[in-house]
Structure 1
Amino acid sequence: MSVIAGWGFVVLPDTDSAVPLARRLARESTVLHHPSGRPWLVHNHPAEQVAVSADRSDHRLAVVGFSAATPASLNQAARHLDGPDRLARELDGSFWVVASFAGRSHALGSALGVRRIFRARIDGVWVASDRADVLAELGSFDFDETTLAMRTIMPLVHPLSEEPLWRGVEPVAPGDSLTIEADGNRCWHRRWWTPPGAELDRRGGAQRLRDRLAAAVATRTSGGGVVHSDLSGGFDSTPVTYFASLGRARVVASTAYNTDPGGREDLVWARKALPVMRGIEHSTMSLESLPAFYLGLSEVTARFDEPSETIRAAPRIAAMIQVARSNGARVYLNGLGGDHLLSPMPAWDHTLLRRRPLTALRRVRTSQLLEGTDYRTAFLPLLRSQPYRTWFGRMVEAMEFRDPYRKVTAMELAWDQQLYWPRWLTTAHRAAVTARLRKIAGTADPLAPALGDHAYLAVIRGGARVARAGAQLGAAQQVAFESPFLDDRVVEACLATRIQDRGHPKQFKPLIRNAMQGLLPDDFLRRTRKTSGDPQASRGIRAAEPELIDICHHSVLAERGIIDLDVLRSHAFPRERWMPVRDVDATLTCALFARNHTNRHHGSQPTDAQYPGERRGDIPS
């Protein structure tokens, strides 16, 4: 049985007590060693995704993922660094940094959460992994039922995503690093990343975004071979594909279309951009040839280490990854994160009012006219201000059942969206979740002091969770499913741009439009909208209703009395064509997440990656 599903790693302390854990992992993995010779990093990532320094001192460094790091550059860094933080702040790409310095083990992921670190005490020592489920299986930890119940609630307001899904497995917050003492008896977290100040005007921000996105894509194409790239004709995947076309890899780009009104628009816009992409092999596919949203979920066997909205589209994404793999692709590039980074948010104006009041008021007036709201709705929320913990506590006490047909306007303004109960969450678990939420309210801190900055970081973290689940789905098929827009350096370029220059209510993603001027055709850069997949999702959920009910019926959620199936049947599925919010999504993804662990479905294949002096299963006795 595979402990590490897809790709993953485990970091061990420099002690003999960790050797038995390494033996449990070694048969299917590559083992790197502490300078002492004890097992340090056990992984099954492809060789191209791992750079490691030579074993020549009491300092050793590894970078896992996509970056420009090489063994030579890491040898140099290992001689001059006292920790992995500076390296993580300097490299382009998306990666983890793992270090063994003077006996201590260090590990950190990315700043916004695409690459995560988790920790657990197993067999008497602290160990770390990039996947929570790996530690849960190593330690035989059970689910935390209250957290499972809480994950059926929408939306996932900060810091609910940081609540452990397994008892005994603790997340390291994005932007924090983990250090484990050599004896494995003590560990601690330390903040290594803070957001940059927003000081760049649009021109400066666009230039930095252009440079960093180009560098991010280059980390995926520099290895050559075949790289697949989505080409939707939008302002997210198209720049990614353009920069991929400049690299060493053979790039196969695909554009999907459908028969819905406007469903062929993407083809038109993609073809406008293609002439400047030299060497691209372009193909098209009908979405009708792929699994529909929600259909085929019972066949999903990939393991995820948290519930994610990615799961509802997993059959479709997996089919697209399989097409890329059949063409020989080792990397699948996508535009995930572009919407999260580049679309303006009403919350920005709350913060801008306190910095540039006249600019903020003009922007809000524009939004008011576009939304058709009254002055009171548009302007009064700008004046409200309350501490995050106060807001969170009041929100918890105000929780109720959602009216699924109530339309939420873009002008509604708070630290985040209101939480609602799914009607099918049982009374006992609703009480347990309420108690947990009240406890969280007493310690919750925002991601940034200003409401607009917090909201932006929260949205980016939400995008990172989607991308991370996609990466786990790709790894199950041995293809790297990569989202360059969510790389730390790319995100920092957007964060460093002033709010008023980052986006505007009347403009469609102006920052990336400016960034790509002179690179993509002017005719393409005139695009002002992008069609959504909502009609496809609405059709899919109606067609899949019997299958979805069956998934919930046979889930841990039903088995442990977390959900009431009769209530779910009555309230979870739309009886009309239009339902803006589907609370059942969170329940379904939670049910599938838990099922694929309790049933022990595994999708990993051992890799053949080895390193000079490192042998598979080479564990000292």
Structure 2
Amino acid sequence: MELPESFAVALPDADASGPIAARLDQRASLVLDHASGRPWIRARLRADPVVVSDSGATRLVLIGPTSATQRDLVSLTGLGRDVAGIIERVHRFHGNFAMYLSVDGRTVACGTVSQNRRLFHSTVNGVTLIGDRADVLAQLGERTISPVAVGMRLLPNLPHPHNDFAMWDEVHPVAGGAYIDVDSGGTRTSTRTWWTRPAPELSRDEGAGLLRDALDSALAARTGSGVAVSADLSGGLDSTPVCYFASQGPSGVLARTFYTDDPGGREDLHWAERALVAMPGVTEHEIISVDSLPDFYGGLEDLHLGLDEPSQTFMAAPRLLAMVAGDVERGVGIHFTGIGGDHLFRSVAAWDHDLARSKPMTAWRRARTEARANRVSFRTTLRQLTDRQDYATWLRTALRDASQRSDTIAPPGLSDWGAPLAFPAWMTDDAVDAVIARMIELASDASSLSSSVAEHFDLYTMHEAGRVARGMSYLGQPDDVLFDSPLIDDHVIEAVFAVRYDERDTPMEWKPLMKEAMRGLLPDDYLHRATKVGGGPQAVRGYAKHYPTLAAIWEESGVLDQGLIDRQALVEASRPNDTRIPSPMVITLTNLALFLRDVHHSPVPQSSEEAR
């Protein structure tokens, strides 16, 4: 059995687990059993730390960076059968980890709120397995890739719950903030919510203190052991605070800043150097031209990541792997990123929809500031602010109207529970009809992530951030480097979510909550930063240069042979343009094609439709 570089599987306390465990033993580096002696945990851990308490009737394992010690876990196992109590206390620890519990024959597990530590379950040999990779469970159960999932993944912004489905039939996700409980026979399974988001009630000053403490604790949980660490230092208000707190660790931090010779391409370096004066713990500051990295859209020809879903990680991987190579040369064990910052600290239109109930004039001013910039009319703004349609109504309407075709993605309106749906112009009519029909069927009993538009959107956005970070976390595993994103730790998310929407961000200032959190720690002149430079020119050049390779990847993946795509329409829509970055539809297609190409090179079964 061919298995990935890192995985974890929890087996029920049942006789049927024995043969399954035997298939995993050949690659497992962590082998733990239930109190009965039957197999419980089979995992291969490369970069991830692990804390274990595996004696007695109650056994507990945390996989991933955590402030918990073995003594802490031994103390928690003294709670015996109190599963909810154990989970509540485990959540008090800082870090980014999954929990696995064996108690009285039951097998219990939970991941993180953001789904950075995502879990799945599936029935194999008549019993329910829990794992952190959908492809491993699919391989154990000989599951096939779902043609419907493939079709849906051609859409750049899938709504909840469609964005949550695994790519294989009969492999099911465990929701962020929930835990799964499997009985001793492995046949009865239940899921329960363990996490409740805090109400947005705090002022910016109050929330900034919580955020500062949460970030400090998040980085301390990772650096306290003295492991060598590196950090992105773009000069932005995401990576820079992470780098600052990483520099407080006992081994300091290696900081990296990249620059380009495009207009504005040295702006990040300018701001990074301003911030560095407050970071004496930076042991070295590497300044690197992006010309030394693979181009945008370059380096994909022989890329095989083995992820378990399409991900933005594929397109970024050649550049990120170059960074990992630098970490390996320096003996770095953890590489910190600022992923999640834009998701947490930049407002979305839905915030103003919620504000309209408690602070109507504040909501109106904020909404009109954004509306004028986007040429949205007065009447449309008012209509959206006063729209009180519930999630089920919005989803039905969005699916009913989803047959429109586009090469762009419209921003969500004030009352939208998700980004407006749009199918690529090059998707066939039959494929669009089939996908819409299946999405309507899957949405028949769907419920929102929260009762309000803003709170739902917050959680949806954090799940998206967690999935990006999760994909990237696998990049360093073969080289024992943990590619880590502390901004989406549960406690950091809670600190941010507790702040009132009108104080968390404003249309007039760049990430004011993070600025307030870092006031007195980073220089005042650095905290005046109000912009961030993108990589548009590099994207345009790279896409034009590597377009033939991308087209070959689409062909090699088999996605063009499934009746989903009109080839000629795709060719016409995807041609490089000297003045425009590639369509997000094309990027989504490429991520899907790279995933499917990897599946072709793996032993995980394909569907009959895909294999043809």
- Give 1:82-93 correspondences, 5 Å limit: 82-83=82-83, 84-93=86-95
Counterpart of 1:453 in structure 2 is 455
- Give 1:181-220 correspondences, 5 Å limit: 181-220=183-222
Q: Name the aligned partner's letter for residue 151 of structure 2.
A: A
Is 1:241 the counterpart of 2:243? The answer is: yes
Quote how far apart the aligned CAs of 1:382 are: 0.8
Quote how far apart the aligned CAs of 1:149 are: 0.8
Q: Deviations over 1:23-56 (max 9, x none)?
A: 111122120111112211111114861001141x
Q: Deviations over 1:268-311 (max 9, x none)?
A: 10011111112311111111111122112222111111111221
Of 135-144 and 229-238, the range deviating more from structure 2: 135-144
For residues 459 and 159 of structure 1, the distance between their equivalents in structure 2, rounded to whole angstroms, comes to 13
* Pairing partner for 2:588 from 580, 586, 589: 586
- Give 1:283-362 correspondences, 5 Å limit: 283-362=286-365
* Pairing partner for 1:106 from 105, 108, 126: 108
Of 521-530 and 552-561, the range deviating more from structure 2: 552-561
For residues 586 and 404 of structure 2, the distance between their equivalents in structure 1, rounded to whole angstroms, comes to 13
Q: Name the aligned partner's letter for residue 45 of structure 1.
A: L
For residues 412 and 556 of structure 2, the distance between their equivalents in structure 1, rounded to whole angstroms, comes to 38
SS state of the match for residue 187, structure 2? coil
Counterpart of 1:607 in structure 2 is none
For residues 144 and 336 of structure 1, the distance between their equivalents in structure 2, rounded to whole angstroms, comes to 29
Of 98-107 and 468-477, the range deviating more from structure 2: 468-477
SS state of the match for residue 64, structure 2? strand
* Pairing partner for 1:161 from 160, 163, 174: 163
For residues 257 and 47 of structure 2, the distance between their equivalents in structure 1, rounded to whole angstroms, comes to 30
Provide closer, same or farther for how the CA distance between residues 601 and 330 of structure 1 changes in structure 2, counting only shifts above 3 A. farther
Counterpart of 1:606 in structure 2 is none
Counterpart of 1:422 in structure 2 is 424
Quote how far apart the aligned CAs of 1:363 are: 2.0
Counterpart of 1:18 in structure 2 is 17
Q: Name the aligned partner's letter for residue 596 of structure 1.
A: D
Quote how far apart the aligned CAs of 1:17 are: 1.2
Provide closer, same or farther for how the CA distance between residues 86 and 432 of structure 1 changes in structure 2, counting only shifts above 3 A. same
- Give 1:548-563 correspondences, 5 Å limit: 548-563=550-565
Is 1:390 the counterpart of 2:393? The answer is: yes
For residues 126 and 213 of structure 2, the distance between their equivalents in structure 1, rounded to whole angstroms, comes to 46
- Aligned 8 A contact 1:304 1:593 in 2: yes
Counterpart of 1:142 in structure 2 is 144
Quote how far apart the aligned CAs of 1:315 are: 0.9
SS state of the match for residue 254, structure 1? strand
Is 1:534 the counterpart of 2:536? The answer is: yes
- Give 1:593-608 correspondences, 5 Å limit: 593-600=595-602
Aligned length: 599
- Aligned 8 A contact 1:555 1:594 in 2: yes
For residues 216 and 573 of structure 1, the distance between their equivalents in structure 2, rounded to whole angstroms, comes to 44
For residues 399 and 47 of structure 2, the distance between their equivalents in structure 1, rounded to whole angstroms, comes to 47
Q: Deviations over 1:227-253 (max 9, x none)?
A: 010000011000001001111234111
For residues 117 and 248 of structure 2, the distance between their equivalents in structure 1, rounded to whole angstroms, comes to 26
For residues 242 and 511 of structure 2, the distance between their equivalents in structure 1, rounded to whole angstroms, comes to 15
Q: Name the aligned partner's letter for residue 62 of structure 2.
A: V
SS state of the match for residue 299, structure 1? coil
Counterpart of 1:365 in structure 2 is 368
Quote how far apart the aligned CAs of 1:79 are: 0.4
For residues 306 and 47 of structure 1, the distance between their equivalents in structure 2, rounded to whole angstroms, comes to 21
SS state of the match for residue 184, structure 1? coil
CA RMSD of aligned residues (A): 1.9
For residues 99 and 118 of structure 2, the distance between their equivalents in structure 1, rounded to whole angstroms, comes to 11
Quote how far apart the aligned CAs of 1:359 are: 1.9
- Aligned 8 A contact 2:53 2:74 in 1: yes
SS state of the match for residue 98, structure 2? strand
Q: Name the aligned partner's letter for residue 384 of structure 2.
A: P
For residues 383 and 535 of structure 1, the distance between their equivalents in structure 2, rounded to whole angstroms, comes to 40
- Aligned 8 A contact 2:539 2:581 in 1: no
Counterpart of 1:618 in structure 2 is none
* Pairing partner for 2:474 from 467, 472, 475: 472
TM-score (norm 1): 0.93
Provide closer, same or farther for how the CA distance between residues 601 and 326 of structure 1 changes in structure 2, counting only shifts above 3 A. farther
Is 1:42 the counterpart of 2:45? The answer is: no
Q: Name the aligned partner's letter for residue 563 of structure 1.
A: I
Quote how far apart the aligned CAs of 1:335 are: 0.3
Q: Name the aligned partner's letter for residue 60 of structure 1.
A: R
Counterpart of 2:610 in structure 1 is none
For residues 374 and 563 of structure 1, the distance between their equivalents in structure 2, rounded to whole angstroms, comes to 36
Q: Name the aligned partner's letter for residue 52 of structure 1.
A: V
For residues 372 and 120 of structure 1, the distance between their equivalents in structure 2, rounded to whole angstroms, comes to 48
Provide closer, same or farther for how the CA distance between residues 54 and 599 of structure 1 changes in structure 2, counting only shifts above 3 A. closer
Provide closer, same or farther for how the CA distance between residues 485 and 46 of structure 1 changes in structure 2, counting only shifts above 3 A. same
SS state of the match for residue 66, structure 1? coil
Quote how far apart the aligned CAs of 1:373 are: 4.3
- Aligned 8 A contact 1:404 1:579 in 2: no
For residues 410 and 437 of structure 1, the distance between their equivalents in structure 2, rounded to whole angstroms, comes to 19
Counterpart of 1:76 in structure 2 is 75
Provide closer, same or farther for how the CA distance between residues 87 and 133 of structure 1 changes in structure 2, counting only shifts above 3 A. farther
Counterpart of 2:608 in structure 1 is none
SS state of the match for residue 31, structure 1? strand
- Aligned 8 A contact 1:303 1:601 in 2: no
Q: Structure 1 regions of 5+ residues with no counterpart?
A: 603-621
- Aligned 8 A contact 2:352 2:414 in 1: no
SS state of the match for residue 300, structure 1? coil
Q: Deviations over 1:136-192 (max 9, x none)?
A: 111121100011111111212211122231012111111111111111122111111
What is the percent sequence identity of the aligned residues? 39
Counterpart of 1:498 in structure 2 is 500
Q: Name the aligned partner's letter for residue 22 of structure 2.
A: R
For residues 221 and 323 of structure 2, the distance between their equivalents in structure 1, rounded to whole angstroms, comes to 22
- Aligned 8 A contact 1:148 1:165 in 2: yes
Of 368-377 and 77-86, the range deviating more from structure 2: 368-377
- Aligned 8 A contact 1:6 1:477 in 2: no
Q: Structure 2 regions of 5+ residues with no counterpart?
A: 605-612
- Aligned 8 A contact 2:399 2:440 in 1: yes
SS state of the match for residue 591, structure 2? helix
Q: Deviations over 1:293-335 (max 9, x none)?
A: 2112222111111111221111111111111122111111000
For residues 572 and 199 of structure 1, the distance between their equivalents in structure 2, rounded to whole angstroms, comes to 46
